Amino acid sequence: MPHDQAFARQARAADTLRWGGRTSLAWGPKSPAGGNANVNLQAALNAARGKLGSQLVNAHWRWPIQWKTLVCLVPQFAPDETGSVDVAVTWTIGSGDAQQSFQTNYTVGPPYLTVLDNTVDLPAADVQVTLAQGALTQTPGEGKTLSTASVDFLEVAIFVAPVTEAHALLHLAESLEALLGATREGGWMPPGFHPEPLGYDR
């Protein structure tokens, strides 16, 4: 396959990738009838999944590479909060019978600062990241539940980007060879070279 056609095919494939996503969760106040505030927290997760879907990342490369990842949790909690929220992130790498899932866990607690984690590096061709159905749990503080008279917000954002590209030098050499060959014949690029622009779509 000519190099420009391979490039165009990869560009079209890039349109289906999701290199990152963000979901916003809002819950509270606790219902007057009482009950477990986890219901409100789960309802917030269900509402976010219904609006934006469950996948925050769905990335694919033509061959296994190293992915750099970033998990970002941004809380905006009521001033009288004293509890904490635990967030479980599900990672799935690989495909078919070579697929594996695992979880990383994070806690957002007083003084409710932004949580950043860029320590997860993944060697894979396919990466998917979701918040599982039971991904959020809460720990009450000072004898009260996390849902109070005020609404609490939590933004969960996850992004991935490729760090390595094993065939980059090979493609560079192929492009230079094609360019030099065309130059020797009096042209700048091989005949029929019409690369398509890269695209992105959620």
Name the range with the highest mean pLDDT among 13-17, 47-51, 88-92, 96-100.
Answer: 88-92
Average pLDDT, whole number, for the chain? 76
The C-alpha atoms of residue 85 and residue 178 are separated, in whole angstroms, by: 56
Mean pLDDT, rounded, for 130-155: 70
Domain spans, the chain: 17-184
The residue with greater pLDDT, 17 or 160, is 160
The residue with greater pLDDT, 142 or 105, is 105
Record the pTM.
Answer: 0.70
CB atoms < 10 A from the CB of 121, how many?
Answer: 10
The residue with greater pLDDT, 156 or 137, is 156
pLDDT tens figures, 84-124:
889 999 999 998 788 999 999 999 988 999 999 999 999 99
Contacts of 148 (CB under 8 A, 6+ apart): 28, 29, 30, 78, 80, 81
pLDDT at 32: 47
Which pLDDT band holds residue 49 (cuts at 50, 70, 90)?
A: confident
pLDDT tens figures, 156-195:
999 999 888 767 666 777 777 776 665 555 455 566 666 6
